[in-house]
Amino acid sequence: MDFKGGWIGKILRVDLTSGKIREQELDKDLALNFIGGRGFAIKILWDELPRGIDPLSPQNKLIIATGPVTGTLVPSSGKIVIASKSPLTGGYGDGNIGSLISAKLKMCGYDAIVIEGASPKPVYLYVTPGTVELRDAGHLWGKGAIDSDVALREDYGHDIGTLIIGPAGENLVKISTVISEFGRAGGRPGMGAVFGFKKLKAIVCDGWKDIPVADIEKLAELFREAVDFLKKSPAYEKWIHQGTMMTIEWSQEASVLPAFNFSEGVFDGYSKIGGETMDKEYKVLRRGCLFCPMPCGNVCIARRGKYAGSWGELDYENVAMMGSNIGVDSMDAVVKMNFMADQLGLDAISTGSVIGFAMNLYSEGIISEKDTGGLKLEYGNPDVALSLMEMVAYRKGFGDLLAEGVKRVAEKYGGRALEIAMHVKGLEISAYDCHAAPGMALAYGTSPIGAHHKDAWFIAWELKMGRDLISREKAERLIEMQRIRGGIFETFTVCRLPWIELGLELDYYVKAFNAVTGLDYTLEDHYKVADRIYHLIRAFWIREYGGWSKTYDYPPEKWFKDPLSKGPLAGRKLDKEKYDKLLMYYYETRGWDENGIPKKDTLKSYGLDYVIPELEKIGVKLK
């Protein structure tokens, strides 16, 4: 099999320790079996990372990867994946960003960048066709991620693609992320800290080469059809007005809007931070990612109070986590917090979670002003939240502990704190309360990077199937969703929202992939790639953790123990036996054993034979 487009055929290798830069041919088997994006990342990390390395050491590697469909005539194809061994979870971590750099990297002549080692002094990587240089970033170090982007554009113009960290990444904050274009963020599992440890402030790509496509006429025809379809969707108008922000109201209705550190699924002040209010009173500009015909970026300006005049870009997860989850019902404050998160390079979701957790510890008397340096951590106080953000990003006072993420904070206090620390595998749960959503809880539990909705947005499917249903079919549906969200979209690499929000058919993506590459893959072929990637990611975690227990795939104890006290579903909580049942259906369907370890036959049937001796070597028993 040979491909005629999509992939560029080269990977850029940068060793920050020695400053050596080299090009590597893209292995054709890697392309055909792992496609791109997350697929490239996990294969390279599996092959090249020695077991047990410290994620914040020169031995860790950063993978910046596009896919064959990235930056082509496919709606919302401007995505890029950032991956590494996560300092937050100790397992596989990745995230994606919609940014010009996705296409610009390919236009420089590379499918991916692998960054190794660590630089002795702050640098940024500058890439064009023909120039790859590490340049001094002394003048940018310490600057906010948004301010740094502005500074780089003053030097290089507005056509560059960027990935940048803020002070949080520089200070090795484990809930730091990577920012692009004044407020696009990605890489929740501490990717910012990996940049920071390597003293890599930014990556700048400015390419001008064509992105090769096998059948451009066919692709253009498909593109026009797809855009027509999306624009005719009955949901289009509301989508471009509110984007994901409409989910605030939707989640309130479904009792899954996280409130008070995931104690409740409803929030009294929800409409004040909801999509309708935002659209009517706060939104001033639409922003779309590269090549997206259905822009969901909501640029908003705070109107009232002390934050008036601040601007920020809002979406559901961030607003729920820094709003209802910490008891804040002021859109003005949430706008300010969003801007601060992006400027500091903090992950807004984990930041909302760790602040909510600290407030929860305070409300239950586990910590007091003695621990916090005098701060009264009462729910609903945005000033306290903003102070904490600053303290976390600069590791000041109590912020130094919170910068480690909720799992490590909980380990410090032990006991009850462990029950109310809202994470899975160390990654803070994104914005869906699961007291009454066992399938969504399972989706968070089995998501391959920890509790993030990217792979796990099962909630809408679950509500359709029935939230109380505990069946094999539910686990199978979840796996199908993971194949699509965590497989197809993360390997192509394109945005999933045209499919999930406006119903662009999967068949379209299969056709577009074939038009781009000249290959003849079926949906089943892509599912097989997705499953292969899931097995390999699972093997990576097992190798790092030295084995596996099903409890690693459990959601936090709070959802099993403390029932909802408000809303139409008051009294509800998760049932461990039922959760276990779903988890076993999931494992069986995946071809994993009762401890969540892939079986030998499963690995072999996906061409992952090489995983078997690696795991057996460290004493893992494979069935």
Partner 1 sequence: MSRVIFHPDKCSGCHICEEACSFQHFGVINISKSRIRVSTRFSPEGVFHEAKVCLQCEGAPCTRVCPTGALQKNEDGHLVFNEDKCIGCMLCAKACPYGLIFKHPELKIPLVCDMCGGDPLCVKWCPMGALEVR
Q: Any contact of residue 181 with partner 1 (CB under 8 A)? A: yes
Considering beta carbons, is residue 208 or 610 the nearer one to partner 1? 208
Considering beta carbons, is residue 153 or 599 the nearer one to partner 1? 153
Which among 148-156, 261-269, 386-394, 518-526 is the span making contact with partner 1, rule CB under 8 A? 148-156
Among 209, 304, 578, 617, contact with partner 1 (rule: CB under 8 A) = 209
Among 18, 52, 220, 468, contact with partner 1 (rule: CB under 8 A) = 220
**Do 582 and 466 contact (CB within 8 A), yes or no?**
no
* CB of residue 250 to partner 1, shortest distance in Å: 23
d(CA 94, CA 4): 28
* CB of residue 287 to partner 1, shortest distance in Å: 6
* CB of residue 230 to partner 1, shortest distance in Å: 8
Among 73, 163, 266, 582, contact with partner 1 (rule: CB under 8 A) = 73
* CB of residue 158 to partner 1, shortest distance in Å: 4
Tell me, by CB under 8 A, how many residues bind partner 1.
Answer: 46
- Residues comprising the chain, all counted: 623
Which among 82-90, 201-209, 462-470, 538-546 is the span making contact with partner 1, rule CB under 8 A? 201-209
Considering beta carbons, is residue 350 or 517 the nearer one to partner 1? 517
Considering beta carbons, is residue 289 or 392 the nearer one to partner 1? 289
Q: Which H or E run includes 116? A: strand 112-116
DSSP-assigned states of every residue in 460-481: HHHHHH-TT---HHHHHHHHHH
Structure-token match 């064959």, residue found: 68
**Rounded-to-5 percentages of helix, strand, coil across the chain:** 45, 15, 40
Cα 543 from chain centroid (whole Å) = 22
Using the CB atoms, write b or e for 153-189: b if 16+ within 10 Å: beeeeeebbbbbbbbbbbbbbbbbbbbbbbbbbbbbb
- Residue 210: is it exposed, middle or buried by C-beta count within 10 angstroms (0-12/13-18/19+)? exposed
Using the CB atoms, write b or e for 547-578: b if 16+ within 10 Å: ebebebbbbbebbbeeebeebebeebbbeeee
Which among 66-74, 83-91, 169-177, 612-620 is the span making contact with partner 1, rule CB under 8 A? 66-74
SS3 210: coil
Residues 222-261 that bind partner 1 (CB under 8 A): 224, 227, 230-231, 240
Structure-token match 């539990």, residue found: 445
* CB of residue 244 to partner 1, shortest distance in Å: 15
d(CA 126, CA 325): 39
* CB of residue 73 to partner 1, shortest distance in Å: 6
Q: Six-digit token pair at 41?
A: 């990342």
Residues 100-119 that bind partner 1 (CB under 8 A): 100, 103, 107
Q: Six-digit token pair at 597?
A: 């370890």
* CB of residue 220 to partner 1, shortest distance in Å: 6
* CB of residue 208 to partner 1, shortest distance in Å: 3
d(CA 538, CA 531): 10
Considering beta carbons, is residue 159 or 616 the nearer one to partner 1? 159
Q: Any contact of residue 211 with partner 1 (CB under 8 A)? A: yes
The phi-psi region of residue 19 (left if phi > 0; otherwise alpha if psi is between -120 and 50; otherwise beta) is left
For residue 449, CA distances in Å to 114, 236, 452 come to 19, 31, 7
Q: Any contact of residue 150 with partner 1 (CB under 8 A)? A: yes
* CB of residue 106 to partner 1, shortest distance in Å: 10
* CB of residue 438 to partner 1, shortest distance in Å: 38
Which among 176-184, 436-444, 461-469, 482-490 is the span making contact with partner 1, rule CB under 8 A? 176-184
Nearest to 172 by CA among 405, 343, 386: 405
* CB of residue 312 to partner 1, shortest distance in Å: 9
Q: Any contact of residue 210 with partner 1 (CB under 8 A)? A: yes
Q: Which are the contacts of 17, defined by CB distance < 8 A and separation ≥ 6?
A: 58, 116, 117, 118, 119
* CB of residue 283 to partner 1, shortest distance in Å: 11
Residues 277-336 that bind partner 1 (CB under 8 A): 284-295, 297, 299, 301, 309, 311
Q: Any contact of residue 69 with partner 1 (CB under 8 A)? A: no
d(CA 422, CA 350): 10
Considering beta carbons, is residue 229 or 461 the nearer one to partner 1? 229
φ, ψ of residue 153 to 5 degrees: the values are: -70, -30
**Do 9 and 217 contact (CB within 8 A), yes or no?**
no
Distance spanning both ends of the chain, measured CA to CA: 33
For residue 320, CA distances in Å to 74, 121, 270, 315, 431 come to 30, 38, 9, 9, 6
Which among 70-78, 131-139, 364-372, 455-463 is the span making contact with partner 1, rule CB under 8 A? 70-78
Considering beta carbons, is residue 69 or 88 the nearer one to partner 1? 69
* CB of residue 301 to partner 1, shortest distance in Å: 6
d(CA 85, CA 59): 10
Q: Any contact of residue 208 with partner 1 (CB under 8 A)? A: yes
Is the Cα torsion angle 421, 423, 428, 433 positive or negative in sign? negative
Considering beta carbons, is residue 504 or 529 the nearer one to partner 1? 504
Q: Which are the contacts of 221, defined by CB distance < 8 A and separation ≥ 6?
A: none
> Strand 10-15 vs strand 112-116: parallel, antiparallel, or unpaired?
parallel
* CB of residue 514 to partner 1, shortest distance in Å: 16
Contact pattern for partner 1 over residues 470 through 509, marking x by CB under 8 A = ----------------------------------------
Among 15, 111, 149, 170, contact with partner 1 (rule: CB under 8 A) = 149
Site of interaction with partner 1 (CB under 8 A) = 71-73, 78, 100, 103, 107, 146, 149-150, 153, 158-159, 181-183, 207-211, 213, 216, 220, 224, 227, 230-231, 240, 284-295, 297, 299, 301, 309, 311
